[in-house]
Every structure is written in structure tokens, then in C-alpha cells.
């Protein structure tokens, strides 16, 4: 379950930002997670609740912004949606020369802090 590691990393980053802002508590945290990042939302919610116990983020809400996968064709420069992690057939030129541009990211997008 890599969700636990993701939750721990997000919490650490959130606490660093909280301390920079001289806030006292984290109220909510939003993660941008690509649909191809293999993150289970229920497992992520459980992991977040677990790692925040006894921290300034205990009781905070976790929101997840899902990022749709987008590939880009090296041959014709077309951007297109995909549900594959490895093979990208361009709908414009038909070639298999694409690369994934988004859809696997895991990022801390927003924090709501209590001062």
C-alpha cells in the first residue's frame, strides 16, 4: 500500500508550509493525483487519517483532484486523452510515438490552514 508513503510525504510537506506560515493547524489538504498513479482513493483516505493522528493535521479533510491522463504525439504534436500507461496510439496520425504528459503525478495542490 504505497498510499501510506504518499500520505506521510504530503503530511510532512503540509507541516513545513504550516510552520512557514506560522499557522497552528491544518484544516484541509488537497492532492492532485493522476488517474494512472495507481492510488486507491479509499486507501488514501485511510492512510491520511492514520498518519495525521496526533499531528496538527488531525481531523483535517483530504480532498483529491483527479488528473486525467494526457499523451502527446512526437510525430504530429497532437495531445490526446489515454487510459494506457505504456502504449499511446495517436488518434490523428495513427503512430505509436506518444509520451505521457500528465496522469501519473502526485502533488500537494492546496492547504487550508488555521492561524
- Rounded CA gap, 56 and 92, in Å? 50
99 is in an annotated binding site: no
| 93 appears as a binding residue in the annotation | yes
Q: Is 85 annotated as a binding residue?
A: no
Q: Which helix (H) or strand (E) holds 109?
A: strand 106-114
Is 3 assigned to a binding site? no
Is 112 annotated as a binding-site member?
no
Q: Which residues are annotated as a binding site for Zn(2+)?
A: 73, 76, 90, 93
Q: Which residues are annotated as a binding site for Ni(2+)?
A: 2
Q: Which residues are annotated as a binding site?
A: 2, 73, 76, 90, 93
Amino acid at each position: 500500500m504505497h498510499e501510506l508513503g504518499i500520505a506521510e510525504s504530503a503530511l510532512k510537506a503540509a507541516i513545513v508550509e504550516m510552520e512557514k506560515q506560522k499557522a497552528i493547524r491544518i484544516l484541509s489538504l488537497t492532492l492532485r493525483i493522476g488517474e494512472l498513479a495507481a492510488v486507491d482513493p479509499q486507501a488514501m483516505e485511510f492512510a491520511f487519517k492514520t498518519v495525521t493522528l496526533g499531528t496538527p493535521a488531525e481531523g483535517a479533510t483530504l480532498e483529491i483532484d483527479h488528473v486525467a491522463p494526457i499523451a502527446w504525439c512526437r510525430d504530429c504534436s497532437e495531445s490526446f486523452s489515454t487510459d494506457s500507461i505504456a502504449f499511446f496510439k495517436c488518434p490523428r496520425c495513427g503512430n505509436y510515438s506518444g509520451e505521457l504528459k500528465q496522469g501519473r503525478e502526485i502533488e500537494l495542490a492546496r492547504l487550508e490552514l488555521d492561524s
